[in-house]
Chains A and B, each alone.
Chain A
């Protein structure tokens, strides 16, 4: 059964089964995203609860223009960003850092370079990135969000997002090579 059918049924009857199906489909994904962004399991659990309450209270506003999964993702992302911002009031989370500009002459780091890292290596690399860089990289490669959707979520244009991703990939590769290239 499609998400939209379940949503329409839930709107009509508020039936528990509809709630259960939607919750089972998305709870794991929402929690996974929250724990990646917030880093603490307890905070991610609270965030998951808030996100689902928000989703079900606002289900009437979902018009089906985008996919339900995209809508859920944007609520998850925005709520987590709000929580992070509250914790770091004075820091611009996604400021365009100029101290580490991309090497425009160099070839782009292929996606495989990141995807073939060992899990422990990837975790190390992610740990060395800033909050904004990590979020962007995971959004693209872990959550599979399209550049257009990322641009909408971040309030930037697509080319700016692509450029930022290119720079982050370069940085991630540099961190990886510095730490692990000599070992292997």
Chain B
């Protein structure tokens, strides 16, 4: 047998099943950690960047979007009449 291939087989036997499982577990843990960090950055990154921008004297970019507030969307009375109170129940 080729002595270099014998050396390769010899090295492969050093990678025992226990070692294989241990390394795999560590890799999976590292990948989960990386995924968690990426999710956090994705979620809070824009807000944190905006906070830093405001702290540095800039205008907030996030508030520029013209979102309707809950109060505005709930007011569906076209004549702007005051809403009826609980005592004025019409039967």
Interface membership of B49, Cβ < 8 A: no
Please give, as numbers and ranges, the residues of chain A lying within 8 Å of B10 by CB-CB distance: 119
Verify if A74 is at the interface (C-beta below 8 Å from B). Answer: no
The answer to the question of A31 belonging to the interface, with a C-beta cut-off of 8 Å to chain B, is yes
Nearest CB of B to A120, in Å = 9
User: Is the beta-carbon distance between B4 and A41 smaller than 8 angstroms?
Assistant: no
Are A141 and B4 also in contact (CB < 8 A) when A31-B15, A32-B11, A35-B11 are?
Answer: yes
Q: Are A49 and B14 in contact (CB-based, < 8 A)?
A: no
Most buried by B among A48, A116, A121, A143: A48
Interface residues on B, range: 20 to 34
Residues of chain B within 8 A of A35, CB atoms compared: 11, 14
Q: How far is the CB of B20 from chain A (nearest CB, A)?
A: 6
A45 close to B11 (CB less than 8 A): no
Contact A32 B12 (CB under 8 A): yes
Chain B residues with Cβ under 8 A from A141's Cβ?
Answer: 2, 4
Evaluate contact between B34 and A45: CB separation under 8 angstroms.
no
**Chain B residues within CB distance 8 Å of chain A:** 2-8, 10-12, 14-15, 19-20, 22-24, 26-28, 30-31, 34
Can you give 6 contacting A-B residue pairs, CB < 8 Å? A28-B15, A31-B15, A45-B22, A49-B30, A52-B23, A119-B10
